[in-house]
Each structure stands twice: as C-alpha cells, then as structure tokens.
Structure 1
Amino acid sequence: MGVEDLGTDAEGSPKTPAPAKRESFFHRLYVGTGAFDVIGKRRRWYIFFGALVLVCIASMGIKGFNFGIDFEGGTQIQLPAKGSHGQITEDGAKAAFEKALGRPATEAQKVGTGAASTIQIRSETLDPADVFKLKQELFTELGPIGSNGQPSVQAISDSAVSASWGGEISQKAIIALLVFLVAVTIFLAVYFDLRMAAAALISLLHDIVVTAGIYSLIGFEVTPATVIGLLTILGFSLYDTVVVFDKVRENSRGLLGLTRRTFGEAANLALNQTLMRSINTAVIALLPILGLLIVGYVLLGSGTLQDLALVQLTGTLVGVLSSIALATPLLVDFKMRDPKFRQQADRVRARRASQARKAADRAQDDEFDANDDESLDAELRKEKAYAAAASVPVRHQKANRGRPSGKPSSKRKR
C-alpha cells in the first residue's frame, strides 16, 4: 500500500497529516469498539469486589440484621393518624406507649397518606392485659377518630405475630434459592460450558452476599418481602450475564485456529459491545422499581411495596456491576487455565512480535534510504560548488592569453 499524497503547502513543503480526532467517552461507549479495557484491569476489579465482600461479611457477622416483626415476633398496634387533638405523630404514639407500659416501643411509623393514613406501633409480644391498658392510654392521650368521625377506642386494633412464620418464609426461600442455583448450573453447563456456569454462579453468590451486606450496613429492615425481592434480582443478574457470555462465545468462535486476538481480548470486545445494552437494560429495569419505591414510601408509607422495591433497587445495581466487571473476568481466568488457550495466546504474541520486528526493519531501511539520499545530495552540491569555483580561472586565462604577465593590454588611438 502506497503512502497517501497529502500535497504541498503554499511554500512547496509537503503537508503533514492532521492529528487523529480523539473520540469522546460517550462515543466510545456507544459504538463499543473495545476502548474500555475491563479484562486487562481485572485484578483491580478483583480487589474491589473482594474488599466489598469482606466488608459485607464482617457487617453481617458483627452488626447483624434489623429483622422485622415477622421474623422477631411481637405485637402490632394500629390506629388512625387523625385524632381529636389533630394529627397523631410517631413520637406521640411512642410517648403514649411508654407512659402506659413503662418501656419504649420497638418501632412506630406512619403508613399511607391522607385520610387513610395510620400509625403502626410494634413491640415485643404483649399479654392481653397490657394490650387493653395500652389501648386505653392511646385513646385518652391521642383520641383516634374512627370511621364514624368520632374518637373511638374501637379504632385501635392489635395483632400478634409469631416469629415462626418468618422462619418458615426464610426456610422456603433458602430451598427456592438452592433449587434455582442447581437449575441455573445445569442450564449454563448445557447452553455454554462448565467454566461459564462457574463464573455465573460466583457472580450470583456475590450479588446475594453484597445485597445482604448492604442491608446489614445501612440497617434496612428485613421483612418477608425483602426475602422475596432478593430472589427476584437473581434472575435479572443472570440475564445480563448470559447476554455478555453469548457475545463472548460469538467473538471466540474458531479462536483457537486464529492469531488475530487472544480469548481475553475477544471477551473484552464482547463486554464493550454489550456495555451499552447492559446500561440501557438496567435503566429500563430501574424505572419501574423507582416508581414502586416512590408509591410504596411516599404515597402508601413504609410497607411491603417499599421493602420489595428497596431490595430490587440494591440488587439490580449490584447485579449489573458484577455481570460486567466480575463474571466475564472470571471466565477469562478459567479459560486461560486451558493449555490450548495459553498456546493460542502465545501464537498471537509471537505473531505481533514478528510484525513489530518487520515494522522496525522497514523503518530502519527507510531511515538508511533517507540518509543515503541526503549523502548523495550533499555530494552533488559539493561537485557543483567545485565546478563553479574552477570555471572562473579558466575564463580569466582565456581572456589574457598572449599578454605579458602583469601588463594589461591597451589600444592606442590613432
């Protein structure tokens, strides 16, 4: 291939090529040309994920979880948020509880909005006498207004929650999780291979541990809705991982017989090609989750919808990050344990080293040719200078031939 003729400028000098325009971050992100080296920097990602998992495990072991009443058991008192003295607040309900029983309530929160809003008080299990005493104190201090528009003690309801119910939910959730993991392993092993199945399972376990650890660190309340929501995020994380792995398989088809790129480079290209899709999928998935969270918290108050949306929001963000920066790098390391892929990588490096040597030799030859041209030009300039210097005495000698040395000729006028 010849060198492109760029022409000359106004002074006759050859034009220099214009510097290549630097592509923006968003352009590289959109076109997916492999500009983001995720695989090459996978050790940094391993350190990040490892530190995150250690922090989460330490928090779960030291701090524990903030289990809701469904897991701990206890008594729940519910009354309208509107009283004879105005709106009933959580602090007012806690003060009435402590005044009636001489000990603070476990939790008091407002649920719902407008006329349908209520105050929920949770505490340890109370006997019937304490429940009756508490209702009387709440009626006296707060005067909750019932459906008839008048203060009524019947507007205050109570319910006892057994801790065994939350335990049963947890047990069934663990069984469902194990069945899910076994089914996923079989599917990935058949559809892809065992290495991809192992990388996907490690990524899924990471999502579970980190999501649970975030709940422990921040102190979010763990309810049965939280457990159910935790199971739903695994499907999203698995979906994103399968999309990336499918592109990796497409890019690496017939790779062992080629020397264009290594398996790690093919996997990194697949990540870049699916990165925008993963981001778009995550954004689309987060929009309804945010809507669910807003409806559950702002409009209806703290409840099942909020608990469900909160764990899905946390798990979706963690799942997207792990499918990009953890699952695929693990797959590359698993694949590179195979001698066939290591030998193919060696052939790629040898081919590139040979091309680099040839390029260096061509550059050196071009430099020698340029030096020879410069030497030849210098010699020609010298010869021209010598010829110009020698031509002056010869003409002078011809002009003074036949005349005495030192006596110039003169013509007499007649």
Structure 2
Amino acid sequence: MTSLATIGNELYTGKRSIDFIGRRRTWFAIAGALMVLSLMLVGFKGLNAGIEFKGGSQFTVSGTETMDQQLAHDVLAGLGEGEPPRVSEVGGSSLRVQTSALTDEETQQVQEDLATAYDVPVEDVTATFVGPTWGQSVTAKAVQGLVIFLALVSVVMAAYFRTWTMSLAAIGALIHDLVVTVGVYALVGFEVTPASVIGFLTILGYSLYDTVVVFDKVRENNANVLHQKRRTYAEGANLAVNQTLVRSINTSITGLLPVASILFVGAFLLGAGTLRDISLALFVGMLLSTWSSVFIAAPLEVTLRERQRPIAKHTKQVLAHRAKARATDVAAPDGADADLAPSVADLGVGIVAGQHLGHDAQPKRKKGRR
C-alpha cells in the first residue's frame, strides 16, 4: 500500500496529479449548494440562540446527586405555555436550567422547587437574569469585528500578493466557511453562545492560513508564466494545489485532534459549557477551511485571473502552440526525415493539468549568482 509520504512526494514532483482546477465548476456547484442549503436552514429552522442573545432567567443547581433532567422539567411545567426550558448538565454534579424571563416571585418559587426536587439546600440553587440588550451588544461587536477583519484581510493580501484576484478569492473562501458553519449549527441545533461567536471568528484566521499557503505556491509556480509556453496559468495553479495538498491535510489533522479532544471533554465529561461551544465551531470550521482552500480559493482565483487579458491571451497561445506541436508530431513521416520533424518535447509543450510527468512538471527556477 502506498504511504502518504510517497503520495505527497509524487504530488509535489508532478508524477501524480489531481485536476482540481479543471473541475472547478463541479466544486463551485457543490459550494454554492452548501451555502444555499445553509441559508435556508438558518431562514426556516433558525439558530438555537443562547440565553445571552435573547435574554431570560438561568438557574444552576449545584451538588446534586441525581442528574435526572425530567425533575427540572416537572418543576417548570407550571409556568405556563411559554418557550420550553432548556436543561443541561454542567460538570458531574450540576445542572443548568434556562427559561424565559421570570418575575421575582416566580424566580424565588422555582429556586425553592428545584432545591426540593434535587434534595439540595436553597443556597445551592443560584438564579441569574440576563437581559437581551447584552446579547445584542455582543452581536453588534461580532459583526463589526467581522467587517473590519475582512477589510484588513483584503488590503493585506492584495499588497502581499500584488493582485486583487487572490484577495477576492480568499474572501470568498472565508465567507463560504462561515456560512456553512452557521448552517451546520442550524441543522443540528447546537446552542449559539458568545463562545460560539468567538469560534466563528477564529475559523476565519485558520481558513486564511490554509489559503495563503496554497496561494504562495501558486505565485511561485506562475512567477514567469507569461514568458514561457510550457504551461498555462491554470496548470501552474493546479500543480501548486497538488504540491500543498498533503501539507493541508497534515495541518488539518494536527489541528483537529486537539480540538476533537476538547470537544469530547466539553460535551461528554464536563457537559454543556464554554469548551463545548467554542470547540464545536472550531471543529466544523477547520474541516471546511481545508476544503475551501483547495476546492474554492484556488479555482476561484484562477477563474478571476483568466478574465484578465494577458492571462487569457497567454492561455490561447499555449493551447495553440500545444496543438501545433501535436499535429506536427503526428504528421512526421516515417524514415530518415522523421528525425528532422520537431517533436512535442522540442517545442516545449507544457504539462497538462492532471497529466503531469514527474520532474518535468516543475517550474524552472533561475539560478542565482554565486
């Protein structure tokens, strides 16, 4: 069985290749469908906003010997037909009960009833009230931070890569990751808390890191693309994606393992809490960022770049040059004169994406002065 190291070496040298760029319409269709589905889920099903965003009352029962959540539901059943309460475990001996906003009399009564139901002193049942204005402030700050982040990323990437196409493609990948992650939250009903929002914003930085690694290789492979006829810009970009594929996978696995551990500890050992809320967003977002950097960012950048006149003209020249070389090679007569006919290799025909030929696929680097 071929090892991952061997596959990575073959992908880097060009001996083995996957045509990521050539199939970009398929990846765009999948990404578009995921984003539309995510927006539909958010629109029709909605997000399970935490108490910090919509306000309400929260009770914490500490030191209980039983974790039977039905006892809390029975206590709160007499509050009327409002929004059903949410009961969750916090650690190994505490329960968190969230309800809609209650009056002072109702709050005191629920405290006493919960203490009786779980056989703990009333002092071990704490009650807090969270107003919706705090959640609105958090939301506004998160949106403000997102807008500032995207603006700064656009400027920095455009300055670093000296082209707006990579900047715009990176922003497109970031938006895809964010939208689909929110859609996953809507689908499975994860509670959205301020910790989740922090996780959403953290995703952007991780996704950007993966994209920059790919784009840096694209820029290196296509540094002098207009001065040769061996490959098109798209073929150089496809080689770059293949060369960074194993690195992206290894980086994702390395990052996902500790996040998965935190998610397991937060969800199953400690119960609902900040660890679970932030790790859920990170786990989903890190998976998506690996996908988007390979299947969305690079193909989108090539699509934008091929709309530029110099790149479009060069692509036509390379394809015409390649067709001429093949036609000449096929038309060469048998016999002694065949050696005089120019071959495909003599004309310097490039390596077709998805059909690389070992070290010949590598961009030729200029030797520095010694």
The TM-score range, normalised by the shorter chain, is 0.7 to 0.9
* 1:23 Cα offset (Å): 7.8
Q: 1:141 aligns with which of 117, 121, 126?
A: 117
Q: How does 1:208-223 map to 2 (within 5 A)?
A: 208-223=178-193
Match of 1:189 in 2: 158
Q: 1:329 aligns with which of 287, 296, 299?
A: 299
Q: 1:242 to 1:123 in 2, by over 3 A?
A: same
User: What secondary structure sits across from 1:108 in the alignment?
Assistant: strand
**Does the aligned pair in 1 maintain the 2:217–2:240 contact within 8 Å?**
yes
Match of 1:129 in 2: 105
Q: Which amino acid aligns with 1:309?
A: S
Q: 1:24 to 1:288 in 2, by over 3 A?
A: closer
* 1:163 Cα offset (Å): 1.1
Unmatched runs of 5 consecutive residues or more in structure 1 = 1-21, 145-151, 370-414
* 1:82 Cα offset (Å): 2.2
**Does the aligned pair in 1 maintain the 2:59–2:128 contact within 8 Å?**
yes
* 1:43 Cα offset (Å): 0.7
Distance in 1 between the 2:9 and 2:91 partners?
A: 43
* 1:29 Cα offset (Å): 4.3
Q: How does 1:42-53 map to 2 (within 5 A)?
A: 42-53=24-35
Distance in 2 between the 1:51 and 1:102 partners?
A: 41
Match of 2:310 in 1: 340
Distance in 1 between the 2:63 and 2:308 partners?
A: 66
**Does the aligned pair in 2 maintain the 1:70–1:161 contact within 8 Å?**
yes
* 1:197 Cα offset (Å): 0.7
Q: 1:359 aligns with which of 329, 333, 338?
A: 329
Q: Which amino acid aligns with 2:124?
A: A
Q: 1:160 to 1:127 in 2, by over 3 A?
A: same
Distance in 1 between the 2:216 and 2:118 partners?
A: 62
Over residues 120-171 of structure 1, what are the superposed CA-to-partner deviations in whole Å (9 max), with x where a residue is unaligned? 1110111111112222222333312xxxxxxx22111111111111111111
Over residues 25-55 of structure 1, what are the superposed CA-to-partner deviations in whole Å (9 max), with x where a residue is unaligned? 8744443125100001111111111111111
Stretches of 4+ moved more than 3 A in 1?
A: 22-30, 101-105, 366-369
User: What secondary structure sits across from 1:311 in the alignment?
Assistant: helix
Match of 2:222 in 1: 252
**Does the aligned pair in 1 maintain the 2:115–2:124 contact within 8 Å?**
no
**Does the aligned pair in 2 maintain the 1:53–1:209 contact within 8 Å?**
yes
* 1:361 Cα offset (Å): 2.5
* 1:356 Cα offset (Å): 1.2
Q: 1:343 to 1:233 in 2, by over 3 A?
A: same
**Does the aligned pair in 1 maintain the 2:76–2:85 contact within 8 Å?**
no
Q: How does 1:236-247 map to 2 (within 5 A)?
A: 236-247=206-217
User: What secondary structure sits across from 2:248 in the alignment?
Assistant: helix
Distance in 2 between the 1:90 and 1:246 partners?
A: 53
Q: Which amino acid aligns with 1:324?
A: V
Q: 1:183 to 1:318 in 2, by over 3 A?
A: same
Q: 1:286 aligns with which of 256, 269, 273?
A: 256
Distance in 1 between the 2:337 and 2:225 partners?
A: 39
Distance in 2 between the 1:23 and 1:140 partners?
A: 64
Distance in 2 between the 1:227 and 1:29 partners?
A: 36
Number of residue pairs matched by the alignment: 333
Distance in 2 between the 1:356 and 1:24 partners?
A: 36
Over residues 341-382 of structure 1, what are the superposed CA-to-partner deviations in whole Å (9 max), with x where a residue is unaligned? 1221122112222221232133x515999xxxxxxxxxxxxx
Distance in 1 between the 2:208 and 2:10 partners?
A: 24
Unmatched runs of 5 consecutive residues or more in structure 2 = 339-370
Stretch deviating more after TM superposition (338-347 or 324-333): 338-347
Q: TM-score, normalised by structure 1?
A: 0.76
Q: 2:274 aligns with which of 275, 297, 304?
A: 304
Over residues 193-245 of structure 1, what are the superposed CA-to-partner deviations in whole Å (9 max), with x where a residue is unaligned? 11111111111111111111111122111101111111111001001101100
Q: Which amino acid aligns with 1:354?
A: K
Q: TM-score, normalised by structure 2?
A: 0.85
Q: Which amino acid aligns with 1:153?
A: V
User: What secondary structure sits across from 1:82 in the alignment?
Assistant: coil
**Does the aligned pair in 2 maintain the 1:226–1:308 contact within 8 Å?**
yes
Stretch deviating more after TM superposition (303-312 or 24-33): 24-33
Match of 1:174 in 2: 143
Distance in 2 between the 1:140 and 1:221 partners?
A: 28
Higher relative contact order (CA 8 A, sep 6+): 2
* 1:299 Cα offset (Å): 2.4
Match of 1:71 in 2: 53
* 1:88 Cα offset (Å): 3.5
* 1:278 Cα offset (Å): 0.6
Distance in 2 between the 1:45 and 1:69 partners?
A: 38
Stretch deviating more after TM superposition (28-37 or 160-169): 28-37
| 1:110 equivalent in alignment to 2:125 | no
